[in-house]
Structure 1
Amino acid sequence: MKKRNFVWIAAAMLAAGCGNSQQGTSGGGDTSSTVTDSTAGKGGAISAASTEFAAKAATSVLFETELGKLARNQGLNKLVKDFGSLMINDHSKSTEELQAIAGRKGITLPSALTDEQTKDLEDLKGKKGVEFDKSYVKKMLQVHRSDIAEFKNAAKEGIDADLKDFASKSLPVLKAHYDSLRSINKVIKATVDPGEITDGVETLPLR
């Protein structure tokens, strides 16, 4: 009798063990699937929005750097020349950081200006003295307003985390550039040409 009870107990334990083993295998499969999905989410393909922002940021930085070189060489007012040098220095750092992020994410950044930017650059190359200063400040105010709007959106929207961080860190610098441009514009208006320089662009408040 005792022997028979022992056999039944052993059989019950064996059945329970098999059931737990099968359940563990099933549960392990689910866990493995969850980890794989999580890993895929972190290392998956970069979104179209992320790629688009990176491309726009790259061409904007390149454009402002090229304009900065013009301002340093062709500007009449020392403030314009100095601001051009500032653009070259600040955007060199931005370019390095953006290229590093793009390299890690497998993003190919554009290496040339857009057709519109090329046209604007060539137009500015043909201007000298006061006319250059006026046109340069006007264009840079427009570009910075556009940049600030783009970077603010990127800092809020669901794009790649590194690009989002890049946008957030760049915003204070862009706003500082914009404030400097407004100050330079006022000086040029007061000391060189009392007429309209930027068609009122510099009076629009930042938000």
Structure 2
Amino acid sequence: MKKLVILSATVLAVWMTPSCGNNAKNAQSEKPVDSAQDINETVKPVDEKSSQFAVDAANGGMMEVAMGKLAQEKAQNERVKAFGTMMVNDHSKAGDELKALAEKKGITLPAELSTEEKKHIDDLAKKTGKDFDKSYIDMMVDDHDKDVKEFEKASDNVTDEDLKTWARNTLPTLKAHQDSAKAIKDGWKK
């Protein structure tokens, strides 16, 4: 009887070992597959139009921040200095939101300004006094006219819903910037 119990226990152990091993292997091999599936579900590919909008918006926002910092330093007119501060604060906030969204979407945003934007900043930095103030505000009016059009277009045409929502939510701030820059410019004509 003792031999039968030992034999039964041995047979049962041998029979269960491969079964348990397979379950452990299945559990381990399923986990990475599930994780990969989770990643694919959270990071969906973004179409070219949506991605290009994000890259352009990031580049434009970085330029606004850089020029705003320049205005804080060099502007003679207090309204221009205050406008520069508003640009730094608002565009930094929008840029941070866009970076987080782009990271989630797998979009690579530029780490620094393009050569063209750097040239605009270098040209502006060479100016002083009223000449700086006028040039900066002229650039801000033109730039925000362009930005508002681009963000309105993106609010309707970008296919990625998260980027579309970000564009819609950012648009009122851009319109306020546009109005402020125009008000400063119009104030000088009087």
The one-letter amino acid of 1:117's match is: E
* Partner residue, 1:52: 52
RMSD: 1.5
Runs of at least 5 residues in structure 1 that lack an aligned partner in the other structure: 1-39, 191-207
CA deviation after TM superposition for structure 1 residue 114, in Å: 1.7
How far apart in 1 are the matches of 2:187 and 2:70?
Answer: 20
CA deviation after TM superposition for structure 1 residue 113, in Å: 1.3
Moved over 6 A (4+): none
Q: How many residues align?
A: 151
CA deviation after TM superposition for structure 1 residue 184, in Å: 0.5
Q: Deviations over 1:23-71 (max 9, x none)?
A: xxxxxxxxxxxxxxxxx89854210011100000000000000000011
Pick 1 or 2: higher relative contact order, CA cutoff 8 A, min separation 6. Answer: 2
Check if 1:81 corresponds to 2:81: yes
Structure 2 matches for 1:1-207, cutoff 5 A? 44-190=44-190
Runs of at least 5 residues in structure 2 that lack an aligned partner in the other structure: 1-39
The one-letter amino acid of 2:125's match is: K
The one-letter amino acid of 2:189's match is: K
Question: Please, what TM-score do these two structures have when normalized by structure 1?
Answer: 0.70
How far apart in 2 are the matches of 1:84 and 1:127?
Answer: 15
Moved more, 149-158 or 57-66: 149-158
What SS does structure 2 have at the residue aligned with 1:70? helix
How far apart in 1 are the matches of 2:150 and 2:158?
Answer: 13
CA deviation after TM superposition for structure 1 residue 187, in Å: 1.8
How far apart in 2 are the matches of 1:158 and 1:70?
Answer: 32
Q: Which has the higher helix share?
A: 2
How far apart in 2 are the matches of 1:59 and 1:119?
Answer: 13
How far apart in 1 are the matches of 2:76 and 2:189?
Answer: 14
